[in-house]
């Protein structure tokens, strides 16, 4: 396994990616049946505002990390009902002919604002605001939630891991523990939160993430002895490679690795046993053999707690698999897509919200800002409802507030700055700055409440 520098988390892609398929059927049936009914009674053209938010953080988590925005914007660009999609819908009689005719010309022409990808969020944070007619906005619910719930769960777990690792690189290697496309998305989401590389080649191609990996135990077992396996790998990859030294006996493996590659051996990888104790022993052995610059990479079912426990061990980087791609116990963020305002009979926008006890909402389009204390650290999340003019004026008049929402889609046009490899680089930078803004203690792994409280202000109309 080669270990890239932590500062080179995203590079330029090496090759163009293939054309993307339509995303129009990555949705739930009820969105199309609602559209059919709304077209029937004339409500489909009413202007609406939908918000994406989570009512609560996973148990014990102090903050979430928004990820997937760039992927979602690409999915919206590809949300087109072509001949194949329309034929299937017609054959299955999902909707009537009038609805099929509408879908044939569907293009999202509204506007979307949201938290910049990589931003931390808290309960009720309006991380995405979709504005358009009911007909065009309602269709995006499932694809928006599918992307943001998955990617934000991975990024939130990854942030806890890179925080625990401090300045030691974390490397994503969980492809074999996820759906093949989820693996690519997870690699991207982990990079948003500071992971320095991925084992997944498709993620490297699409998003310019450095790829890592050299050999598994199977390669050692293929050869007649460990020396032969190491010699073959060094001959192919050079002495700067990473040799896996725990197939048989770790101490003997380290000795053979240095004997084959010389003291300039790039790294050794430990994938089993008591990693803290082994790392101490291997570091001492490497130094005694003159391999002072040979790094130690540890893998084997690591999560944020295991990484934190290895803080005092002489480890140089961490390879993380299952825990990061599954959200480390929180595989979703519980985000929802809710209608918060719609055009009334008078033509004016009116707030709407559920009032059921367990899932009561707050109506009205919201602007979001983060209040910073004198030390530059966050003290509260502020949500403001009112007219656009009122909200804009209120935020701009308070120097302690940092506005959180940015334009992502304007009149149907996606802002390309948030997509592709450049969008990922931008998201990674935003995450570093946003996490550094959290109050002291917010990054502790112990269970606690949200790091900052959320308050909602209603400006008088």
Domain positions in the chain are: 29-153+330-351+363-458, 214-315
315-332 average pLDDT score: 97
pLDDT reading at 3 higher than 50: no
> Count of alpha carbons within 13 Å of 285, Cβ hemisphere only?
19
Question: What per-residue confidence (pLDDT) applies to 446?
Answer: 87
194-222 average pLDDT score: 97
Q: Supply the mean pLDDT for the chain.
A: 93
Question: What per-residue confidence (pLDDT) applies to 448?
Answer: 86
pLDDT reading at 7 higher than 70: no
Q: How many CB atoms lie within 10 A of CB 130?
A: 26
What is 29-153+330-351+363-458's CATH number? 3.20.140.10
Which of these CATH numbers, 3.20.20.70, 3.40.50.720, 3.90.1150.10, 3.90.550.10, describes 214-315? Answer: 3.20.20.70
Question: What per-residue confidence (pLDDT) applies to 460?
Answer: 61
The residues that bridge with 297 in the sheet, in sequence order, are: 269, 317
Please calculate the CA angle 446-451-455 and round it to the nearest 5 degrees.
150
pLDDT reading at 6 higher than 60: no
Q: What is the pLDDT of residues 388-430, one digit of tens each?
A: 667 667 766 777 899 999 999 999 999 999 999 999 999 999 9
76-100 average pLDDT score: 97
Give yes or no for a contact between 423 and 74, defined as CB atoms under 8 angstroms apart. no
29-153+330-351+363-458 and 214-315 in the same fold? no
Helices (H) and strands (E) in the chain, counts: 16, 19
Give yes or no for a contact between 450 and 123, defined as CB atoms under 8 angstroms apart. yes
Q: What is the pLDDT of residues 101-111, one digit of tens each?
A: 999 999 999 99
Q: Which of 228-237, 370-379, 391-400 has the lowest mean pLDDT?
A: 391-400
Question: What per-residue confidence (pLDDT) applies to 60?
Answer: 87
Percent of the chain with pLDDT over 90: 85
Q: What is the pLDDT of residues 240-290, one digit of tens each?
A: 999 999 999 999 999 999 999 999 999 999 999 999 999 999 999 999 999
Whole-angstrom CA distances from 345 to 42, 83, 317 are: 12, 36, 61
Non-local (6+) Cβ contacts of 110 within 8 A are 130, 131, 132, 133, 136, 137, 409, 411, 412
Token code pair at residue 41: 């009674």
pTM of the shown model: 0.93
pLDDT reading at 353 higher than 50: yes
54-66 average pLDDT score: 94
């Amino acid at each position: 396994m080669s270990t890239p520098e932590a500062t080179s988390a995203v590079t330029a892609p090496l090759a163009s990616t293939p054309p993307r398929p339509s995303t129009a059927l990555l949705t739930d049936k009820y969105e199309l049946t609602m559209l059919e009914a709304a077209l029937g009674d004339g409500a489909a053209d009413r202007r609406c505002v939908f918000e994406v938010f989570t009512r609560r953080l996973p148990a014990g988590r102090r903050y979430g990390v928004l990820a997937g925005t760039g992927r979602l914007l690409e999915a919206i660009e590809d949300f087109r009902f072509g001949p194949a999609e329309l034929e299937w819908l017609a054959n299955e009689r999902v909707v009537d002919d009038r609805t099929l005719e509408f879908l044939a010309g569907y293009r999202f022409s509204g506007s979307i604002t949201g938290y910049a990808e990589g931003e931390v969020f808290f309960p009720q944070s309006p991380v995405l605001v979709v504005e358009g007619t009911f007909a065009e906005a309602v269709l995006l619910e499932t694809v928006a939630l599918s992307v943001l719930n998955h990617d934000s769960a991975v990024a939130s777990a990854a942030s806890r891991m890179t925080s625990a690792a401090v300045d030691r690189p974390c490397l994503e290697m969980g492809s074999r523990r996820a759906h093949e496309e989820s693996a690519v998305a997870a690699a991207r989401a982990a990079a948003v939160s500071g992971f320095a590389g991925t084992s997944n080649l498709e993620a490297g191609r699409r998003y310019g993430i450095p790829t890592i990996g050299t050999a598994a135990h199977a390669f050692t077992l293929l050869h007649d002895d460990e020396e032969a396996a190491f010699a073959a790998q060094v001959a192919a990859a050079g002495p700067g490679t990473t040799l896996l030294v725990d197939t048989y006996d770790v101490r003997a493996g380290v000795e053979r690795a240095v004997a084959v590659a010389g003291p300039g051996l790039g790294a050794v990888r430990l994938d089993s046993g008591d990693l803290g104790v082994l790392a101490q022993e291997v570091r001492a052995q490497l130094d005694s053999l003159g391999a002072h610059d040979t790094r130690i990479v540890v893998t084997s079912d690591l999560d944020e707690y295991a990484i934190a426990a290895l803080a005092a061990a002489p480890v140089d980087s961490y390879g993380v698999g299952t825990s990061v791609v599954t959200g480390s116990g929180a595989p979703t963020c519980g985000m929802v897509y809710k209608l918060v305002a719609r055009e009334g009979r008078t033509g004016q926008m009116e707030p709407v919200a559920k009032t059921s006890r367990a899932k009561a909402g707050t109506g009205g389009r919201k602007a979001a800002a983060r209040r910073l204390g004198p030390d530059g650290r966050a003290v509260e999340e502020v949500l403001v409802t009112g007219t656009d003019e009122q909200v804009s004026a209120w935020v701009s008049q308070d120097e302690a507030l940092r506005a959180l929402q940015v334009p992502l889609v304007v009149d149907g046009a996606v802002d390309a700055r948030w997509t592709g490899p450049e969008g990922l680089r931008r998201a990674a930078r935003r995450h570093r700055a946003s996490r550094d803004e959290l109050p002291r203690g917010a990054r502790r792994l112990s269970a606690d409440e949200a790091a900052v409280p959320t308050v909602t202000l209603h400006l008088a109309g």
